[in-house]
Amino acid sequence: MKKYAVALLASSAILTGCGGSDNDDKSNGTKNIKLDFAAKINSADLICGENTETVGTAQTAANVTYFGTYISQLEVATDEGDFTPVTLDESTTNDVERGISLISFCGTDLKNKTITGTVAKEADYTRVRFTIGVPEEHNHLDATNTDGILSKEIAMHWNWTAGYKHARLDANGWNIHLGSTACDGDGKTDPTSKCSNGNRPTYSFDNVNLSEDQIVLDYADLVAQSNISSNTESTPPGCMSGGTDPECTEIFTALGLDLATGQCKDNDCDSQTWVSIQKKD
């Protein structure tokens, strides 16, 4: 499991679950959890369309114009206990029934950077686990005819066969669209489709101080081994999750995923390099 490290580069995201404070509901024994997200490029805050920080093997100035990701299966645990699901709070930015949130920074008016919810028992939670992506059972819904967060951002939807973009990061015309692949179904509007390569990384963190630490996302870390100013001819610009796309090789390594199977490398996506935990700013 990935350990907490002070020196990690990343975004500024804030995870709080304050034991013994107003965040605990003493009346029913539940405990509130708050997970705030933000994005950075190296040590700089991500400012949509304005960053000039250089990234990748060619040290290209990164002009990020879209940054969004679905977060699902959020769980917390004590040092020794089992992981406990966080029940999301009802709001306009959370899909409570399906346990999915869309975290978005650029390219959309939603600009949602927070997940809030509760766990059923008060405890000293020091571990966090979540998945990037829409679970397979909900991945092939008709985005124009459903409810909740899965209907609110069409730019995060490929089609009914392939499903949603689990994460989308566009910069310099070199785009990263993480989604499920090797899908079957009757055309592009089949909600019964299934995909063999899920491409949904699950990340775990321990030794987390919920009142002092923050979860961060770093575009620079994600593309550190990629050249975002170059692309192989005859392939889409960037990485569209294709199993034979050369631009996806290093991106999937940074995500902790096996490009060939769409599963975590060695059953452990915590080899990933772009999401981390730090002390709050």
Q: pLDDT tens-digit profile of 50-105?
A: 998 999 999 999 999 999 999 999 999 999 989 999 999 887 666 777 999 999 99
* Structural domain count of the chain: 1
Enumerate the H helices of the chain as residue ranges.
219-222, 248-255
Whether 232 is covered by a domain: the verdict is yes
In 10 A of CB 4, how many CB atoms? 16
d(CA 15, CA 18): 10
What is residue 192's predicted lDDT score, i.e. its pLDDT? 81
- What's residue 5's pLDDT? 38
Q: Is residue 122 part of a domain?
A: yes
The answer to whether residue 2 is domain-embedded is no
Residues contacting 16, CB < 8 A, separation 6+ = 23, 33, 34, 35, 36, 210, 211
Q: Residue 52 falls within a domain, yes or no? A: yes
Determine, yes or no, domain membership for 178. yes
Euclidean distance between CA atoms 140 and 156, whole angstroms: 12
Amino acid at 265: K
List, for the chain, all residue ranges whose pLDDT scores fall below the cut of 50: 1-27
By residue range, what is the domain housing residue 133? Answer: 14-279
Question: What is the residue type of 277?
Answer: I
Evaluate whether residue 8 is within a structural domain.
no
Q: What is the pLDDT of residue 92?
A: 60
Q: CA separation (Å) from 139 to 68, 85, 165, 258?
A: 16, 20, 9, 20
Q: With respect to residue 214, please indicate whether it lies within any of the assigned structural domains.
A: yes
What pLDDT score does 255 carry? Answer: 97
- Alpha-carbon dihedral angle through residues 111, 239, 186, 195, given to the nearest 10 degrees: -90
Q: What is the pLDDT of residue 190?
A: 75
In a domain, 159, yes or no: yes
Task: Output the pTM of the full model.
Answer: 0.87
Q: Look at residue 193 in the predicted model and tell me its pLDDT.
A: 87
Q: Could you tell me which of 70, 120, 119 has the C-alpha nearest to residue 95? A: 70
